[in-house]
Amino acid sequence: MTRLSSNHLLGLKELTPDDIELIFETADNFKAILNRPIKKVPSLRDITIANVFFENSTRTKISFELAEKRLSADIVNFSSASSSVSKGETLIDTVNNILSMKVDMVVMRHPAPGASLFLSKNVNAQIINAGDGTHEHPTQALLDAYSIREEHSTLKGKKVVIVGDILHSRVALSNIYCLQKLGAEVAVCGPSTLIPKFIGALGVKVMHNLQEAIEWCDVANMLRIQMERQQTKYFPSLREYTMQYGLTMKHLNALNKEITIMHPGPINRGVEISSEVADSGQSIILNQVENGVAIRMAVLYLLAAQRES
């Protein structure tokens, strides 16, 4: 297979296992290029990409920009904080104005679930979802699964637990779809108030005890508490959350095996993960960030190839 099954990247729900394998194989090639002295290739030299961010981002925004520059695309960056959105302009008007300047692809982060799908149906450009509210964050899940594959050779049969604020996490939902499509077993762990009621329908194991969860898994993906999306209190205090669900060396030292520790970032050190764990040899947090550039290059390259056929 040499083509993706979709012209946009909106979520992992829509991707097939073959799509994911194609992205990984393409990322393998780009990762080799990124380790060369000259990291740039001319693949997207005729393509203009707008990075449209209605929410803050460090990793995703920089990673997409680097991926685009390494592929020789022309890029424009838009951030809602410094734009005319504050004067009442709609999403479609904003993006159509950008597109009228001859933009081919839009990488968008937006606080509303479904914003990328909405855009893909209403503007004439390829859309890449860089995180839509609590819904999906597809390139994060792809880079997470790619990093597990790099560490463990395969996803098939691997046990992955996602710990923390599952209710508000787009990373959790995209990871669940992606990992299951690649044959991994997935569990979520956290207080019941932070686990969505629909989770059982996704075929995911639900756990509430952190020590039991890490005894079960090969990989633990620790998530931060998304305070900015919480309108109500889901647990008594951050201190109590940390006592129940903050991962420390004490948890890891009690195991008779070595598990892989992941985190999509940003990390809240001392809350969901201790500094010792985040900086330990078991942590692949910075490998995830590094792999993000190769994965995003692969996604951009494959989507651009769809345009020509």
Among 16, 266, 279, 286, binds ligand CP (CB under 6 A): 266
Nearer to ligand CP, 65 or 218 (CB): 65
* Interface with ligand CP, residue 138, by CB under 6 A: no
* Interface with ligand CP, residue 58, by CB under 6 A: yes
* Interface with ligand CP, residue 59, by CB under 6 A: yes
Nearer to ligand CP, 43 or 169 (CB): 169
In angstroms, give the least distance from the CB of 205 to ligand CP: 24
The tokens 């503007």 sit on which residue?
123
Among 134, 140, 147, 260, binds ligand CP (CB under 6 A): 140
Nearer to ligand CP, 89 or 150 (CB): 150
Of the candidates 266, 260, 265, the residue with the CA atom closest to the CA atom of residue 281:
260
Residues in the chain: 309
Strand pairing report for 260-262 and 74-79: unpaired
Output b/e per residue, 48-66; b: 16+ Cβ within 10 A: bbbbbbbbebeebbebbbb
Binding positions for ligand CP, 106-135, rule CB under 6 A = 131
Nearer to ligand CP, 30 or 64 (CB): 64
Binding positions for ligand CP, 156-195, rule CB under 6 A = none
Listed in sequence order, the residues at least 6 apart from 74 whose beta carbon sits closer than 8 Å to its beta carbon are 47, 48, 49
Contact range with ligand CP by CB under 6 A, out of 52-60, 77-85, 254-262, 273-281: 52-60
The tokens 């729900």 sit on which residue?
13
Output b/e per residue, 141-170; b: 16+ Cβ within 10 A: bbbbbbbbbbebeebeebbbbbbbbbbbbb
In angstroms, give the least distance from the CB of 286 to ligand CP: 13
In angstroms, give the least distance from the CB of 64 to ligand CP: 9
Of the candidates 210, 292, 223, the residue with the CA atom closest to the CA atom of residue 250:
210
Residue nearest to ligand CP (CB): 60
The tokens 């992205």 sit on which residue?
23
Separation CA 14–CA 20 (nearest Å):
11
- x/- site string to ligand CP, residues 216 to 255, per CB under 6 A? ----------------------------------------
Contact range with ligand CP by CB under 6 A, out of 32-40, 58-66, 154-162, 226-234: 58-66
Among 136, 265, 295, 298, binds ligand CP (CB under 6 A): 265
Of the candidates 9, 83, 76, the residue with the CA atom closest to the CA atom of residue 297:
9
Binding residues vs ligand CP (CB under 6 A): 57-60, 131, 137, 140, 264-266
